[in-house]
A = this chain, B = another copy of it.
Amino acid sequence: MNDAMGIGLLGCGVVGSGVARLLLEKSDRLASRAGRPLVLRRVAVRDLHKERPVELPRSMVTIDPIAVIRDPDIQVVVELIGGVTDARQYVLEALTAGKHVVTANKALLAQHGAEVFECARKHERTVAFEASVAGGVPIIAAVSQSLAANQITSIQGILNGTSNFILTAMAEQGQCYEDALREAQKLGYAEADPTLDVDGGDAAHKLAILAQIAFGIAVPFAAITRRGITDLHAMDLRFADELGYTIKLLAEAWLDGKQVALHVEPVLLRKTDMLAQVRGAFNAIQVVGDVVGETLYQGPGAGMMPTASAVVADLIDLAVGRAQRTFQSLKLWSATNTGFTMQSPMEVRSRFYLRLLVEDRPGVLADICKALAKEEISISSVIQHEALDEQEGEVVPLVIMTHSAPTGNFLKALRHIDAQKSISAPAVYYAIAD
């Protein structure tokens, strides 16, 4: 057990530099936790001359990932190059070469999990991926190990810190989306091109991984209903607030009989809900199990050192021998049938928040209610603020909260409502978390 574990690093960007720094600067601590030295042997980078936040010995750095993978003194390859095409190739090569793999690559697992895990099983190697979902929050360990006595019944996650930072600024400072995004970019919480963060794509990758672990279903990325926060209007945050709710970009998956409903969307949450109180760039996940009940996990979802903390925890798990046993027992992305299937998005039941801009004249509300009633959707509350008599005929916001209904019915009613002449802008709607 006192043999060193040799580690090769593919990619030395932000997270890779954090991992290298820990391995180089905290080697005594890590050796004591792992029961053997964790030795960084080689690092593959794209540009030898780039400045990095960690100083690497010259001899350690190469531009050839294959040389790292084939190094006989390396037993574990840490893949942190990101993207899908090259990462997939290197991970498969590493497993085939008999190396364990640690990765933070959510897109890779969400899109090629089955292939990667099958390759690992074939070569009797382990893939560890705690860092792929929610950075420093140990959600993979929680769902796959700590809650192993449970059938998970629902997962609700704030899985994208950038979006949550923007939503917090919008809710607390009344900023519009564009201003909040600019502030997030200035403070380093959002990238120059924030698309994947704010359109829900990043959270959907993470949700696909969690759905695999919790429900054993392989959800094609494209099949996940996904709406981002770019169109979110400050007005809707204000109405939500008035109703006792806040709006969060949630990645949700829950059991409905033998089916799993899932989506990534801005959702109204009651203010007293723990997830509603998660501010700024934090990630948080509420997991409900049929034995334990409600549990919640929160922490930094991204960043150099938080993510490195998760990667190195996986390395320690491999050195101790835990990760191998977890990997064998989980049978992820295998053909094992758990009996669950994905629910069609149109069948997913939810309560809805509906905000319309309507002409303030007699009969408008009646027409809208009729359209909802036709689809058997009942109304739980309505807000239309008192307008002055002289405003009659002008455009005013009307907010309706519905009882639970299938998404398909709701969208059908919406088409009828949007077609009405008295509606001056497309309807805005969000799901309401129970």
Task: List residues of chain A with CB under 8 Å of any chain B CB.
Answer: 22, 26, 29-30, 33-35, 130, 136-138, 141-142, 145-151, 272, 274, 277-279, 284, 289, 291-300, 305-306, 308-310, 312-313, 316-317, 320-322, 325-326, 328-329
Contact = CB atoms under 8 A, between A and B. Distances in A.
A299 B295 contact: yes
A147 B138 CA distance: 8
Nearest to A22: B149
A299 B299 contact: no
Contact of A325 (B30, B284, B305, B320): B320
* A26, A33, A130 — most chain B CB neighbours (10 Å): A33
Contacts of A328: 35, 320
A146 B398 CA distance: 48
Given A293-B305, A294-B300, A149 B329 contact: no
A68 to B, nearest CB: 21
B26 A149 contact: yes
B136 A292 contact: yes
Contacts of A147: 138, 309, 313
Given A33-B149, A147-B309, A292-B305, 12 more contacts: A26-B149, A33-B148, A34-B148, A35-B328, A137-B295, A138-B141, A138-B146, A146-B313, A148-B313, A294-B299, A297-B297, A321-B325
6 contacts: A22-B149, A142-B142, A145-B313, A147-B313, A293-B300, A322-B326
A292 B296 contact: no
Contact of A312 (B149, B272, B312, B321): B149
Contacts of A138: 141-142, 145-147, 295
Nearest to A286: B298
B149 A313 contact: yes
A151 B295 contact: no
A278 B138 CA distance: 20
A423 B93 CA distance: 77
A112 to B, nearest CB: 25
Contacts of A26: 149
A81 to B, nearest CB: 21
Given A149-B33, A294-B299, A297-B296, A289 B309 contact: yes
Contacts of A29: 149, 151
Nearest to A23: B149
B298 A34 contact: no
Contacts of A299: 292-296
A317 B295 CA distance: 20
Contacts of A297: 295-298
B294 A296 contact: no
A299 to B, nearest CB: 4
Contact of A316 (B35, B149, B305): B149
Nearest to A35: B329
Contacts of A321: 321, 325
Contacts of A294: 299-300
A295 B307 CA distance: 13
A177 B33 CA distance: 44
A294 B305 CA distance: 12
A309 B325 contact: no
B291 A308 contact: yes
B149 A30 contact: yes
Contacts of A142: 138, 141-142
B300 A292 contact: yes
* A22, A151, A313 — most chain B CB neighbours (10 Å): A313
Contacts of A149: 22, 26, 29-30, 33, 308-309, 312-313, 316
Nearest to A142: B138
Nearest to A18: B291
B309 A320 contact: no
A147 to B, nearest CB: 7
